[in-house]
């Protein structure tokens, strides 16, 4: 369980940050504009960076690229799952007219319902998590520009 403590802890922190941001937008009725969801990436990026730093410091010299990759990816996936659950609850129970306001031009043309919107929210979160993990692990991997690293090149 100790191996999963960082992804769970930081995934929960990121999800809370995303939910708070969404609720602040809803106070100003700005949550119906998808453009504001771009800041979700900033929240995810900051949280996943902190998670990866915490994981690396907890492992010290035993830090492995593969384990760091999984910790970062699981952090993002946990946050995405929790936010998607909140989004489903908000769109169906707290504000049933939210979905109609969000996609009013698509509603008549495509018949979009809550399922496809939740799918898109989840896929966007998973994709963001994967891209951020790949980018961050480039910064945390060991350099091969050392004498020891040069032994692995041809």
Instruction: Tell the burial category of 28 from Cβ atoms under 10 Å away from its Cβ (0-12, 13-18, 19+).
Output: exposed
Residue 138: pLDDT band by 50, 70, 90 thresholds?
Answer: confident
Q: Residue 85 in contact with residue 114, Cβ under 8 Å?
A: no
Q: What's the start-to-end Cα distance of the chain, in Å?
A: 40
Picking from 20-34, 37-51, 80-94, 122-136, which range would have the lowest pLDDT averaged per residue?
20-34
Q: Are 80 and 117 in contact (CB under 8 A)?
A: no
Q: Which pLDDT band holds residue 98 (cuts at 50, 70, 90)? A: confident
C-alpha triplet 92, 98, 104: angle, nearest 5°: 125
Can you give the pLDDT at residue 146? 65
Say what the pLDDT of residue 37 is: 84
Tell me the pLDDT of the chain averaged across its residues. Answer: 84
Residue 121, pLDDT > 60, answer yes
Indicate if the pLDDT at residue 109 is higher than 80.
Answer: no
Residue 78 pLDDT level (bands cut at 50, 70, 90):
very high
The pLDDT of residue 148: 65
Does 52 or 111 have the greater pLDDT score?
52
- Top pLDDT among 127 and 61 is at 127
Residue 50 has pLDDT above 90, yes or no: yes
């Amino acid at each position: 369980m100790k191996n999963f403590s960082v992804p769970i802890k930081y995934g929960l922190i990121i999800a809370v940050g995303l939910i708070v941001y969404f609720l602040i937008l809803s106070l100003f009725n700005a949550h119906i504009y998808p453009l504001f969801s771009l800041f979700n990436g900033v929240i995810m990026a900051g949280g996943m960076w902190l998670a990866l730093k915490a994981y690396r410091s907890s492992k010290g010299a035993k830090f492995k690229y593969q384990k760091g990759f999984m910790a970062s990816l699981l952090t993002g996936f946990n946050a995405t799952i929790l936010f998607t659950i909140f989004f489903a609850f908000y769109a169906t129970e707290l504000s049933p007219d939210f979905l109609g306001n969000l996609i009013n031009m698509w509603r008549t043309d495509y018949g979009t319902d809550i399922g496809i919107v939740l799918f898109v929210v989840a896929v966007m979160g998973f994709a963001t998590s994967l891209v951020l993990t790949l980018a961050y692990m480039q910064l945390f991997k060991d350099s091969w520009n050392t004498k020891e690293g040069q032994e692995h090149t041809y």
